[in-house]
Amino acid sequence: MKLSDVLTCARGGTPADLLLANARIVNVFSGDVTTGNIAIIGDRIAGIGDYDALEVRDMAGRFVAPGFIDPHVHIESSLMSVSGFVNAVAPHGVTTVIADPHEIANVLGISGIGYMLKSSEHQPMNVYIALSSCVPATDMETSGARIDSSDMLHLMSHDRIVALAEVMNYPGVVYGAPQVLAKIELARHYRKRIEGHAPGLSGKELNAYLAAGISSDHECTRLEEAREKMTSGMHIFIREGSQAKNLETLLPLITPRTAHRLMWCTDDRDPHDLISLGHIDAIVRRAITAGVDPVIAIQMATINPAMYFGLRHLGAIAPGRQADMVIFSDIADPQIEEVYFKGRRIAHHGEMLPETQVQETFPTPPSMNVRLDSLDFSVPAAGSHARVIEVIPDQIATRSVVMPVTMSDQMAVADTSRDMLKIAVIERHRGSGQIFTGFIKGLGFKNGAVASSVAHDSHNIIVAGTTDEDMKTAVEAIVRVGGGLSVASHQKIVAVLSLPIAGLMSPAPVHRIRDQLDVLLACTRDIGAIPSNPFMTLSFMALPVIPELKITDMGLVDVGQFKIVPLFV
């Protein structure tokens, strides 16, 4: 669409392609709701007012708001391909995401980022990319790739790369690690946002982190932490994902004076939650129910992230803006009825219109390089007490506790009577055969094992179980299907979900993945699992940048000390 054509239509010289008449328009600039008609030409909004149009659709007083924006999401964590993800979330009113392809980048490197860019190119959604900053996240794990500043150079000028993604190596920033600063300097040179990831960082260390130019954080789990970071200049992404849920805790942060510095994000949301709850729309509804002004809740989902990332053509219903809109009947309970993307209706009452769906056909290489004959989860007892990872319900952080070990034939073994299970990480990228086994509390298994090739951030295989035999059975199953999730019991596989795209994603539609996942979750309940989704819980146990104690293929990581520590004490 030529600019001159938009201007001619805007001044009334030619009819609009489409007029949404009698709409109650959510004005995210003024904070008001006004009544009017929205004139659309091509993919743009020409104006608000009385216009002739080739087609008129009567909104009959329904509310029209800008399309929702998720400023921080890992598409891979939905277990879906890019096409599957778009088809799942667009009906919920999400017309823009800022995706960090950190997961696939840690498996496939730059080619993984290329896959995400290519797959998202012609989707009925704006998919922008935050260039993954930590591949690998640390040097205390084995990743499938390494991306340094020189690798990033040719990507920084890409028009859909809008930021350097979450800089998780905050000690590297605070203490000036050259390889970390080189990436930050590159982003600054290209005037890209630099995203933060600094759980618990405070005081002078926070000052140093901010002085590097990092401008946001989505890891706040305490109100005082979020308030300190916000008053120090950070934009706060209030996260409500499938595993980390921070909305309720951070709600008091939202006031008319502070809301412009805040926005919602999901980070990670699984297929079950996408179907049963929704996406950004679910967060908006929950915030409104909790007392947040509806227009403020919508501003945090639209204009705030658009302006933060410099996407000035998005985030509002106004002349010249891209015609991305959501329609609903009740602003106090915005259930999305219709979704428009670039002036075209793409979803109606929770379903994508078939003609708008785009299927991708971009293959990825095999990513399971595991020596099955080397699987050994035995732990020689080198002491009477061991460090144990303790799961915190509904959080990705853990506690570090010390527990007496149960021994058999001079080996430390799992003890279901104390909910002290084995947990292990198996390197899957290089075929090194490297494995480290430790202990975890809070999963509750009474028998069997659960394994997954989704294990942030390097996505080696993670497995937890009550016996070495069941752990081996579970791992063997996901290697054979090219990556995925599995449940074993009594040395037999009882359920498996294949994730052949980098061991992270499935090309299947969301409902099929959800159904398979439901079978898996039912099987985990049968073996006594305490977390509602132990796969999601396990996926963060290998993330060595989230306190307190985590496990990688190299050993136990004390995140506070940022170093590997002995299993036995």
Predicted confidence (pLDDT) per residue in 190-210, tens digit? 999 999 999 999 999 999 999
- What residue type is assigned to position 173 of the chain? V
Distance from C-alpha of 78 to C-alpha of 85, rounded to nearest angstrom: 7
Does the residue 54 lie in any domain?
no
Does the residue 5 lie in any domain?
no
pLDDT at 309 (0 to 100): 98
pLDDT at 80 (0 to 100): 95
Q: Are residues 304 and 389 in the same domain?
A: no
**Distance from chain centroid for Cα 515:** 21
Phi, psi of 58 (to 5 degrees): -80, 115
Does the residue 286 lie in any domain?
yes
- For 148-184, the DSSP string reads -HHHHTTTTT-TTEEEEEEE--HHHHHTT-HHHHHHH
| Dihedral sign from CA coordinates of 372, 476, 500, 138 | negative
pLDDT at 365 (0 to 100): 85
Q: Is the pLDDT of residue 394 over 70?
A: yes
Q: Is the pLDDT of residue 436 over 90?
A: yes
Q: Are residues 264 and 383 in the same domain?
A: no
Q: Are residues 298 and 379 in the same domain?
A: no
Q: Is the pLDDT of residue 314 over 90?
A: yes
Comparing C-alpha atoms, which of 471, 528, 470 is closest to residue 462? 471
Its domain, for residue 522, covers 372-565
pLDDT at 361 (0 to 100): 67
The helix/strand/coil state of 366 is coil
Residue 112 — left, alpha, or beta (φ > 0 → left; ψ -120 to 50 → alpha)? alpha
Q: Are residues 421 and 279 in the same domain?
A: no
Does the residue 251 lie in any domain?
yes
Q: Are residues 181 and 99 in the same domain?
A: yes
Q: Are strands 420-426 and 398-404 parallel, antiparallel or unpaired?
A: unpaired
Q: Are residues 390 and 296 in the same domain?
A: no
Specify the CATH number for the domain of residue 182.
Answer: 3.20.20.140
Q: In sequence order, which residues have a C-beta less than 8 Å from that of residue 12 and are 6 or more positions away?
A: 51, 52
Q: Are residues 282 and 379 in the same domain?
A: no
Distance from C-alpha of 275 to C-alpha of 290, rounded to nearest angstrom: 22
Q: Are residues 148 and 283 in the same domain?
A: yes
Q: State the average pLDDT over residues 507-535.
A: 95
Q: Of 314, 329, 350, which residue is a domain's last?
A: 314
Distance from C-alpha of 194 to C-alpha of 294, rounded to nearest angstrom: 29
Does the residue 505 lie in any domain?
yes
Q: Are residues 267 and 132 in the same domain?
A: yes
Q: Of 264, 299, 314, which residue is a domain's last?
A: 314
Does the residue 324 lie in any domain?
no
Does the residue 271 lie in any domain?
yes
Does the residue 31 lie in any domain?
no
Distance from C-alpha of 197 to C-alpha of 239, rounded to nearest angstrom: 12
Q: Are residues 111 and 259 in the same domain?
A: yes
Number of domains making up the chain: 2
Q: Are residues 296 and 436 in the same domain?
A: no
Q: Are residues 291 and 376 in the same domain?
A: no
Cβ neighbours of 22 (radius 10 Å): 15
Render pLDDT for 205-252 as a digit per residue (tens, 0 to 9): 999 999 999 999 999 999 999 999 999 999 999 999 987 889 999 999
Render pLDDT for 15-66 as a digit per residue (tens, 0 to 9): 999 999 999 999 999 999 999 999 999 999 999 999 999 999 999 999 999 9
Distance from C-alpha of 193 to C-alpha of 229, rounded to nearest angstrom: 17
